[in-house]
Amino acid sequence: MTPKAIRAEGERLFAAFLQAGAVPVETDLLQPAETLLDLYGEDIRARAYVTQDPLRGEMMLRPDFTVPVVQAHMAHGAEPARYAYLGEVFRKQDRHSGRANEYLQAGYEVFDRQAPEAADAEVFALFRDLLQGLNLRPVTGDIGILMAAVRGLETSDRRKAALLRHVWRPARFKALLDRFAGRAPAPVGRVRLLERLAQGSPSQLIEEAGTFVGLRSAAEIEERAEALVADAATPPIKAMEAALLYDLLSLEAPAAHALTHLRGITALLPAIEPAVDRFATRLDALAAKGVDVATLAFEASHGRTALEYYDGFVFSFLAEGMPPVASGGRYDALTGVLGQGAFIPAVGGVIRPELVTRLKAGAT
């Protein structure tokens, strides 16, 4: 695989995106770091190349295209809109991981409020067509269903916010759910702190502790202590709700069968009904694009280790022993964050030309 061959594959994909109706868009290699670090999540935060510019402040080598494309669209884009891009992205890797820290990425993004589920199907089907013959395994998911289930729990807003904050960190999410459902004890340090708080008010304990260490003020420490006390007094999540959430986390089935299962638990977890309805509409749109939803893999937890701005449909095209050859998803909430109150449904995805080239070379 030569750089020339990889670039040629990228140009092929880019041209196909333009043929599908996209407008070409470019973004700077160096991006302002503050917004990106807030939005991309802990995984990329730890792997970002960050530098200090004397005039522009903290900057980052572009780890992805989606956020700058959304920023550009929300500033002056027309509706509906389709964008295509081709360029390098940069991510630090562990020394012995074997993963590239710089690679080419071709992408396609759709901003359309008329029929979001049809846009999901459009992006997925376009990628399927461009990757035909590579023996890839497509996998889909829907983070929106899991988020809706969490929001519908009969528990405190603080606990729901904690679970939602860790949707993209499966191990941490499960640990919290286990504790909130009464299936695991609180951490030893938290128990000891609560025992101390039971002996006196937070302000008394702060006064007894002596000299401050760290950046938190006394008011912030008191607020945190009061929150811990309130959380300890919160009843466990109901056994039925917890069981349904565990069931949802483990759901893996062909998409059509998954829909039947989700319809079956909606009566017991009514908060997911709108998200399940969107899932059903999406399957109809995928079927209209020639996708066999009776065999298409669906995993309710798929995408939970990907970028943290995804909040609905997610998908990947996978090959054994490789990172995802292509991946993408819906990120509606991100447009609201970057649009300063404005909002438009959006979905997109990326393909790695290097991996496509490698697969094609192996097939010849």
Q: 173 with 202, same domain?
A: no
Q: What is the pLDDT of residue 342?
A: 82
Write the CA distances from 141 to 235, 249, 328, integer angstroms: 31, 11, 11
> What are 207-243's pLDDT values in tens digits?
555 555 555 665 666 666 666 666 777 899 999 999 9
Q: What is the pLDDT of residue 260?
A: 97
More confident residue, 46 or 166: 166
| Long-range CB contacts (within 8 A, 24+) of 220-229 | 225/193, 225/197, 226/202, 227/158, 228/190, 228/193, 228/194, 228/197, 229/194, 229/197
Q: 279 with 202, same domain?
A: no
Domain count of the fold of the chain: 3
Q: 178 with 290, same domain?
A: yes
Listed range (93-97, 116-120, 135-139) with the worst mean pLDDT: 93-97
Could you tell me if residue 324 is inside a domain? no
| Average pLDDT score over residue span 48-56 | 82
Could you tell me if residue 338 is inside a domain? no
Write the CA distances from 128 to 17, 84, 247, 255, 331, integer angstroms: 13, 17, 29, 16, 20
Q: 39 with 109, same domain?
A: yes
Please provide the average confidence, as pLDDT, over all residues in the chain.
87
More confident residue, 114 or 55: 114
Listed range (88-102, 138-152, 175-189, 261-275) with the worst mean pLDDT: 88-102
Q: 364 with 279, same domain?
A: no
Tell whether the model's pLDDT for residue 158 goes beyond 90. yes
| Average pLDDT score over residue span 341-359 | 93
Q: 264 with 364, same domain?
A: no
* Residue 42, domain extent: 1-115+345-364
Could you tell me if residue 247 is inside a domain? yes
More confident residue, 270 or 187: 270
Could you tell me if residue 217 is inside a domain? yes
| Average pLDDT score over residue span 266-280 | 96
| Average pLDDT score over residue span 96-103 | 74
Could you tell me if residue 54 is inside a domain? yes
User: Where is mean pLDDT largest: 30-44, 57-71, 175-189, 211-225?
Assistant: 57-71
Could you tell me if residue 130 is inside a domain? no
More confident residue, 93 or 165: 165
Q: 362 with 214, same domain?
A: no
Q: Kindly report the number of other CB atoms within 10 A of residue 252's CB atom.
A: 14
The pLDDT confidence band at residue 364, using thresholds 50, 70 and 90, is: very low
* CA–CA–CA angle 353, 357, 361 (5° rounding): 175
pTM recorded for the entire structure = 0.88
Write the CA distances from 77 to 56, 64, 74, 210, integer angstroms: 25, 19, 6, 55
More confident residue, 49 or 162: 162
Q: What is the pLDDT of residue 37?
A: 72
Listed range (96-105, 126-135, 197-206, 353-362) with the worst mean pLDDT: 197-206
Q: 241 with 308, same domain?
A: yes
Q: 68 with 58, same domain?
A: yes
Q: 271 with 176, same domain?
A: yes
Could you tell me if residue 359 is inside a domain? yes
Q: 12 with 82, same domain?
A: yes
| Average pLDDT score over residue span 124-130 | 98
Nearest to 67 by CA among 305, 307, 341: 307
Q: What is the pLDDT of residue 210?
A: 55
Question: Which CATH number do you get for residue 167?
Answer: 3.30.930.10
Structure tokens at 218: 């006394």
199, 217, 235 - which closes a domain: 235
Could you tell me if residue 293 is inside a domain? yes
Tell whether the model's pLDDT for residue 188 goes beyond 70. no
Q: 255 with 352, same domain?
A: no
